[in-house]
Structure 1
């Protein structure tokens, strides 16, 4: 019972951290630069695959219900925002990161970095695909693949590299304390 209560608290904590991180942002057109992906990384690293993904499912659900916890608001209409695909990508991103690291007892920086990069790749893949789809087929503002990559990828690479290195560097020294939260 104690384990279940701890799981609920930790999932809720990372849901809240992701929501708070949405408001630490640099506004740029279409997809704002936030600290959300850093929280998604920590969710996967700390909670593992299942609980990390659950924290992001809960985040998405709360925002779609109508609480304005996304970077540009909330509600069911948010699915039409060009940036919504990145939010959907948080779920497999956290899952992939968690899956790679959760069974390791001795986790080294390169392994963590690999997990984080693969998690980021999942977020980008879903986010960029959704961005392209929304522009070309929903709001009828035709956009090329290269323009989509400029808006949804290239603008974020420097910041995401920094966030990835920070997440990996922070986890290595505190790994032993985090094992109790992982499967």
Structure 2
């Protein structure tokens, strides 16, 4: 009889953890969607908080659930919800900037994997994870932008102009967000790490 009671408690705990993961994933889907429309008005190239929330999804939810939150966001946008920066719908895959959105999902998995390899990751580990995520997002974004612009939209862009407009002018704000995400992650990861899956 005690063994049966013990199993029941474990099953209840597992169910609670799954429910908590679902709630956190849903919360981050909403944050990522909202973040696309929160613009920080800095000179030259304003930036949004979308990248911040995709990084935090990886750091706080772990690699699998963090990437899942971003994938759900992408799917919702592609089926027509206007949650991307310039709207939504399946045709959005032909927007030159869609590569960055794909990069968000990959980066959330990678930075979540690196950050959560330790129970209490250091600032150095968190920053390293975030900067690797930044590299992934820009790699996907710039390659996709180049391909769509040059081979689909017939609006050629050279490598030099691509590097200037899609990286040099855009990346300073995201570097700041990498630092902010590391600070938030350092405080929040120990609080939620014990109560989640994957």
Calculate the TM-score normalised by the size of structure 1: 0.93
Query: Residue 167 in 1 paired to residue 175 in 2?
Result: no
CA distance in 1, matches of 2:40, 2:95: 17
Structure 1 counterpart of 2:196: 181
Query: Could you tell me whether the CA contact under 8 Å between 2:60 and 2:188 is conserved in 1?
Result: no
CA distance in 1, matches of 2:40, 2:59: 25
CA distance in 1, matches of 2:46, 2:108: 20
Structure 2 counterpart of 1:47: 61
Q: How many residues align?
A: 181
Unaligned runs of 5+ in 1: none
Structure 2 counterpart of 1:68: 82
Query: Could you tell me whether the CA contact under 8 Å between 2:21 and 2:197 is conserved in 1?
Result: no
Query: Residue 87 in 1 paired to residue 101 in 2?
Result: yes
- My pick for the range that moved more, 102-111 or 84-93, is 102-111
CA distance in 2, matches of 1:156, 1:181: 34
1:121 aligned residue (125, 128, 135): 135
Query: Could you tell me whether the CA contact under 8 Å between 1:32 and 1:71 is conserved in 2?
Result: no
Q: Which runs of 4+ in 1 moved over 2 A?
A: 180-183
Larger radius of gyration: 2
Structure 1 counterpart of 2:115: 101
Report the CA distance between 1:26 and its aligned residue.
5.7
Calculate the TM-score normalised by the size of structure 2: 0.86
Query: Could you tell me whether the CA contact under 8 Å between 2:103 and 2:138 is conserved in 1?
Result: yes
**Secondary structure in structure 2 of the residue aligned to 1:59:** helix
CA distance in 2, matches of 1:182, 1:2: 11
Query: Could you tell me whether the CA contact under 8 Å between 2:18 and 2:196 is conserved in 1?
Result: no
Report the CA distance between 1:129 and its aligned residue.
0.3
Report the CA distance between 1:181 and its aligned residue.
3.1
Cα root mean square deviation, aligned: 1.7
1:57 aligned residue (53, 71, 85): 71
1:134 aligned residue (134, 148, 151): 148
CA distance in 2, matches of 1:25, 1:130: 23
